[in-house]
Structure 1
Amino acid sequence: MPYWRRTEMGQPAPRTNSPWLTIALLCIGQMMIVIDQNIVNVALPAVQKGLGFSEANLVWVVNAYVIPFGGLLLLAGRLGDLIGRKTVFLTGVALFGASSLLCGFAANESSLIAFRFVQGVGGAIASACILGMVATMFAEPRQQAQAIGAYSFASAGGGAVGPLLGGVLTQFLSWNWIFFINAPIGAVLVLAGLRSIPKDKGQGLGKGTDFLGAALVTAGMMLLVYTIVDAEKVGWASARTLLLLPLSLLLLVGFVVRQATVANPLLPLRLFRSRGLTAANIVQFMMIAGMFGLLFFGTLYVQRVLGYSPLQAGLGFVPIAVVIAGVSLGLSARLITRFGQRPMLYSGMALIVVAFLMLSFARVDGTYVVDFLPASLVMGLGFGLAAPAMMGLGMSAVTPEESGIASGLFNTTQQIGGAIGLTVLSAFVSSRTNSLTAAGENEAHALLGGYHVAFLLAAGFVLLALVIGAAMLRTGPRPAGAGQPEQNAVTDSTDVPVL
């Protein structure tokens, strides 16, 4: 249900809460979840030492979260449409906060891994509906663009802030606090959300309770995510990967067949008839596959080549978060309103390509100010322009009643794109680094040679996303004129947003 309505006399109903307060609460929830996905990496050595993790099991501190998170997003998004997005969001936040507290108190390997799995479930349930709620909060295009810009900042800014916060908490307190910090934030969000977030009724479980479809997509997505993250360790040609990958794809094919034949599908396939939604998801898949190259290999370059500590490396990502905040929260909405979503999407992706090309010239004896900072600023500008436009194009192509499943689809695409992108980039980096090492290069030069390959490949991913977007969206809606916003396919411009 949309978050606006008219009274019977045609006059807007009185507001009971500020819609921007709701946007703020949703964005805080999104940032908390995104930060948690990045904050753990910095603390892994401390976790290993504190709980006596074996090297083989340490990766499961990450994977135990990623697998349920990626596997449950579609189901959680659809549940938001059926039983109400507010209910699903607050349930997810409560579960995420409680399991975070348990993670902080974990006393051994098995308990931390188990609690991280539950935390991934809570994160998926909470985040699946956020974009759908944000995108349907306003009918007026400029306000909608501002709201989506705030969501984009929460997502990207959380990714940039995560390593810094992880370094600070681990260095000055302990690894436990990377989990403890979520508990009070989650509690405040739940209490404030119960009062401030408008309640939406949902369509009812009878409109789409496809239990078999839910089982197929959840099992298929979890197995696919597991196979991807596991392939980096055991190899794509290993017997386990060659068995599990086709099995996961078979489950997902079964899900698609089920959706094409069942009366009330979990994911209505008619959504993909929308060129905007389909193109936005493909573009996001390719763009996120490349962006993970900055967050992962950029951090490694600053630490392993330039010699920065984890805390210093985290501080090094603050400028990109500041730029993304400035562009997403202020500039992007005005530019989208004036020039339209597609030009901003293309311009932003072009800047991201330029930033990766700049990083491919980073030097072994370089400096942060010369070799990393300029590229990261260009990257922040590009992402701040591209992300709100991309999400706006996708979400404007669905009805408010289906915004939950569309939001879950966006999040799923992001998770799979990041996992596949990082795995592919890592494989090429390892190959290039090993080749240079065998040729007699020292460690720093060999590592940097691998990182150069990652940055060039990431540029290629985003460039391909730009080409695909331009091809698929060439017949999309254009701005009505200079200074006029694009019409939104989701809402009628006469609707009045009220809470």
Structure 2
Amino acid sequence: MNDQPERTGWLLAVALTVQFVVALDMSVVNVALPGIRDDLGFAPGGLLWVVNAYALAFGGLLMLGGRLADIVGRRTTLMAGLALFGVASLGGGLVGSPGWLIAARAVQGVGAAALAPVAFTLIAVTFPAGPARARALGLWGMAAAAGGAVGVLAGGLLTEWAGWRSVLLINVPIVLAAMAAARFSVPPDRREGPPARLDAAGALLVTGGMTALVLALVHTGTHSWGSATTLTALGVAAVLLVAFVVVEQRVAQPLLRIGLLRQRSVLVANLFVLLLFSGQFAAFYFTSLYVQQILGYGPIRAGTAFLPFCTGIVIGSLTATRTVARFGVRTLLVAGGLLGAAGFGWFRLAVGVDGGFADSVLGPSLLASVGIGLCVVPMGTAATTGVAAREAGMASGLVNSSRQIGGSLGLAVLATVASHTTDAEGGSGPAGPSALVSGYATAFGVAGALLAVAALSAALLLPKRTEPVVAGAAASAESPVTAPRGDRTRLP
């Protein structure tokens, strides 16, 4: 009896679980921060590092994590990442001091940096181009969105019912289940051709550059854009990343083959991801502030306010799965970007001091999330078009880095924009509800503009019409990850 379909189903379940838990841990601790502060005695300003330690390690190591999957093997990278993530979660839930908790969160970020790219890679190389991959990518997008949104709700429920430590310890049984399923479903790593070598110089440069960039962005909440701290971190990031590009063009087996970005589909996909998540992450942040600080929601009720977003992502992703073969990548990216932009524009008009969930949150959330859901499948398709399976981890690390940097950059920039608007409205005294809402509304407007620019980039830079996706054989270690021929156009 052929058990390949069953194994493939379990492999998909593993990839979705990994994506869900990585996204979950970006947001699940936020609601638990007050309890963590009171229990462990964090000093003022130190609590932010419970969040930043994860973001820094995750963002800084994504490119390296993606390439490791290509070099040492996808199954090996997956199992090591799960083990590291699980041990760090267990340790974080048992620690008794601020320093150890921050260290545990950093190690979680290291594990997540290995897991996020390999989850995407497993889908790209396992499912043939066509309906099968479209369905898998749609579910992958739903898992990512659900993880981020459920994290807020789960953080509130777990903290209230079982204490803050439970938000970390809950990862342990999830990781153990994923490891058991992975041992059954993920094929053993095979060595074909000459052994690949890790580009050590490139790994050091891109890790240092990405870490410096994320550090600069997450610190803009406490240091202005023009401060010596921010400018120094940005300068270091620029120098290291430029050096990385130079080195990658001179080594035989680069961490990132720069020629990958000469493929129009890959380049536009990463630009689209950068812009989309710049707007989306920031908009979610300000939605959370609005429902808690203006509408007066508690943690659990604030979490439930994000459920319409999960619903919209599901609707958009399912629609894209069923229509990408008919309409093509370009059309769905443009339509999704414009719908998302309209949703955030609606937020800008709807939020108010006297607003409520039905008139200020529900409609805009559904419209924006349906648009974002429409983009998930075509983004994944475009990001892997024409990429050899042996470089799938490289492409996955790149698109995940674009997503992480986009989210950090958008949040930093829009937080500054909102703060300036609030200060201008509120004068010299403490900001009142009206001034806060003005700041939030401005941030939503900028988020909508970013998604509109993303849609414009897809409209101008992608081919006018992609050919229908046709199901085919799974990619081999040497064959390209197949995709519509219309997406194979290269930049001049």
Same topology, TM > 0.5: yes
- Spell out, residue by residue over 1:218-277, the C-alpha distance to the aligned partner (whole angstroms, 9 max, x if none): 111112111211232111111122222111211111111001111121111110111000
Aligned 8 A contact 1:349 1:462 in 2: yes
Aligned 8 A contact 1:337 1:486 in 2: no
CA distance in structure 2 between the aligned counterparts of 1:457 and 1:99, rounded to whole angstroms: 37
How do 1:65-84 residues align onto structure 2 when only pairs under 5 Å count? 65-84=54-73
Match of 2:337 in 1: 349
Match of 1:373 in 2: 362
Aligned 8 A contact 2:74 2:122 in 1: yes
CA distance in structure 2 between the aligned counterparts of 1:14 and 1:100, rounded to whole angstroms: 33
- Spell out, residue by residue over 1:404-428, the C-alpha distance to the aligned partner (whole angstroms, 9 max, x if none): 1111111111110000100000001
CA distance in structure 2 between the aligned counterparts of 1:220 and 1:205, rounded to whole angstroms: 30
Aligned 8 A contact 1:157 1:325 in 2: no
How do 1:398-409 residues align onto structure 2 when only pairs under 5 Å count? 398-409=387-398
- Spell out, residue by residue over 1:320-355, the C-alpha distance to the aligned partner (whole angstroms, 9 max, x if none): 112312432x32211112211211111111110110
Of 422, 425, 432, the match for 1:436: 425
Which letter maps to 1:288?
Answer: F
CA distance in structure 2 between the aligned counterparts of 1:465 and 1:305, rounded to whole angstroms: 30
Match of 2:144 in 1: 155
Of 432, 437, 442, the match for 1:448: 437
Instruction: Indicate the structure whose relative CO is greater, using CA pairs within 8 Å and at least 6 residues apart.
Output: 1
Aligned 8 A contact 1:88 1:129 in 2: yes
Residue 194 of structure 1 and its aligned partner are, at CA, apart by 0.9
Aligned 8 A contact 2:414 2:443 in 1: yes
Classify 1:282/1:140 alpha carbon distance in 2 versus 1 (closer, same or farther; 3 Å). Answer: closer
Residue 51 of structure 1 and its aligned partner are, at CA, apart by 0.8
Residue 473 of structure 1 and its aligned partner are, at CA, apart by 0.4
Match of 1:336 in 2: 324
Aligned 8 A contact 1:85 1:202 in 2: no
Which letter maps to 1:303?
Answer: Q
Residue 293 of structure 1 and its aligned partner are, at CA, apart by 2.3
Classify 1:366/1:205 alpha carbon distance in 2 versus 1 (closer, same or farther; 3 Å). Answer: farther
**Aligned-partner SS, 1:491:** coil
Aligned 8 A contact 1:478 1:486 in 2: no
Q: Is there any run of 5+ residues in structure 1 with no aligned partner, and where?
A: 1-12, 494-499
- Asked if residue 112 in structure 1 is aligned to residue 112 in structure 2, the reply is no
Of 248, 253, 256, the match for 1:267: 256
CA distance in structure 2 between the aligned counterparts of 1:317 and 1:88, rounded to whole angstroms: 32
CA distance in structure 2 between the aligned counterparts of 1:72 and 1:175, rounded to whole angstroms: 27
CA distance in structure 2 between the aligned counterparts of 1:221 and 1:439, rounded to whole angstroms: 37
How do 1:214-233 residues align onto structure 2 when only pairs under 5 Å count? 214-233=203-222
- Spell out, residue by residue over 1:274-306, the C-alpha distance to the aligned partner (whole angstroms, 9 max, x if none): 100000000100010000122100011111111
Root mean square deviation of aligned Cα: 2.0
Report % sequence identity: 37
Match of 1:491 in 2: 482
How do 1:246-265 residues align onto structure 2 when only pairs under 5 Å count? 246-265=235-254
Match of 1:426 in 2: 415
How do 1:155-194 residues align onto structure 2 when only pairs under 5 Å count? 155-194=144-183
CA distance in structure 1 between the aligned counterparts of 2:70 and 2:191, rounded to whole angstroms: 5
Aligned 8 A contact 2:129 2:470 in 1: no
Aligned 8 A contact 1:93 1:126 in 2: yes
**Aligned-partner SS, 2:31:** helix
CA distance in structure 2 between the aligned counterparts of 1:380 and 1:109, rounded to whole angstroms: 36
In the alignment of these two chains, the number of paired residues is 476
Which letter maps to 1:347?
Answer: A
Match of 1:131 in 2: 120
Residue 167 of structure 1 and its aligned partner are, at CA, apart by 0.7
- Asked if residue 311 in structure 1 is aligned to residue 307 in structure 2, the reply is no
- Spell out, residue by residue over 1:156-185, the C-alpha distance to the aligned partner (whole angstroms, 9 max, x if none): 121111101111111111010100000110
Match of 1:29 in 2: 18
Residue 63 of structure 1 and its aligned partner are, at CA, apart by 0.9
Match of 1:4 in 2: none
Classify 1:287/1:492 alpha carbon distance in 2 versus 1 (closer, same or farther; 3 Å). Answer: closer
CA distance in structure 1 between the aligned counterparts of 2:428 and 2:234, rounded to whole angstroms: 34
Match of 1:7 in 2: none
**Aligned-partner SS, 2:4:** coil
Aligned 8 A contact 2:386 2:483 in 1: no
Q: Is there any run of 5+ residues in structure 2 with no aligned partner, and where?
A: 485-492
Match of 1:288 in 2: 277
Which letter maps to 1:239?
Answer: A
Aligned 8 A contact 2:16 2:140 in 1: yes
Classify 1:333/1:22 alpha carbon distance in 2 versus 1 (closer, same or farther; 3 Å). Answer: same
CA distance in structure 2 between the aligned counterparts of 1:200 and 1:427, rounded to whole angstroms: 46
CA distance in structure 1 between the aligned counterparts of 2:194 and 2:152, rounded to whole angstroms: 40
Classify 1:492/1:296 alpha carbon distance in 2 versus 1 (closer, same or farther; 3 Å). Answer: closer
